[in-house]
Amino acid sequence: MKDRYVVAECPRCHTLLVADARYKSKTCPKCGSRIPIDSLKVIQTARDSREARMILSEAKARRGGVGPKMI
Ligand SMILES: [Zn+2]
């Protein structure tokens, strides 16, 4: 993986989060479970934390507001 940051979804509670790809795992801020980076449902990767946060807020905006409709 060439990009350092990963915008992904927690496989347990489906919270969107940003993970640093340098680490092997990420603790979900919502459910607190420790998830190996490999197990995250990656949405997009980013080169820096600013880009990652932007992608994260866009993904949240897309998901929020319109109800629990999943595509
Ligand atoms: Zn979670």
Q: What is the pLDDT at residue 64?
A: 77
Give the predicted TM-score (pTM) of the model.
Answer: 0.82
Whether 52 is covered by a domain: the verdict is: yes
68 lies in a domain? no
Residue 59 belongs to some domain of the structure: yes
Whether 9 maps to a domain, the answer reads yes
Structural domain including 19 reads 5-63
pLDDT in tens, 10-48: 999 999 999 999 999 999 999 999 999 999 999 999 999
Instruction: Kindly tell me if the per-residue pLDDT of 67 is higher than 60.
Output: no
Whole-number Å distance, alpha carbon 33 to ligand 1 midpoint, is 6
pLDDT beyond 60 at 66 = no
Calculate how far, in angstroms, residue 19's C-alpha sits from the geometric centre of ligand 1.
12
CA 27 to ligand 1 center in whole angstroms = 8
| Residues contacting residue 69 through CB under 8 Å, at least 6 positions apart | none
**Domain tally, the chain:** 1
**pLDDT bucket at 68, cuts 50 / 70 / 90:** low
Distance 16 CA to ligand 1 centre (A): 8
Give ∠ CA 20-21-22 in degrees, rounded to 5.
90
| 71 part of a folded domain | no
The reply to whether 42 falls in a domain is: yes
| 54 in a structural domain | yes
